[in-house]
Amino acid sequence: MVGHFLKTGKIGAVVVGADRIAANGDTANKIGTYQMAVLAHENSVPFYVAAPISTLDLSIPSGESIPIEERPPEEVTHIRGIQIAPEVEAANPAFDVTPARLITAIITERGVASPPYRDSLARLFSESSLKKASPPARERPAPAR
């Protein structure tokens, strides 16, 4: 359905979240996000990631290094304990990785990162660290009456 709406021009932009963002801007999110990014790219629709700065992990160089949770295969081969698929091995990843080249921009509470992400994400992360390290602003004393 997403492809249909993107192809027919009924969607002007796609905004998704993220569970982890690598230093190069590759982004891990719930399974299916990568497919939406590919469809958006194919149809020239901007694809944005909106996530808190806490999802950024500069120690992870790229999406290839983001660990992907594998859920139990029974979640796709069984319903309420009843087997609905033949005895086969089933893969059930909880996340997929969207390459940075498909992402128009990454939006955080500290600002917007644009390509090249290695530079812009590092800048947002360092600004975030500085703000966390600074002491809180003092409140003004109440005026004397």
As a whole number of angstroms, the distance between CA 12 and CA 86 comes to 42
Which residues participate in catalysis according to the annotation? 19
The DSSP secondary structure of 58-114, one letter per residue, reads TT--SGGGS--PBPPTHHHHEETTEE-S-S-----BSEEEE-GGG-SEEEETTEEE-
Quick one: 22 exposed, middle or buried, by C-beta within 10 A (0-12, 13-18, 19+)? buried
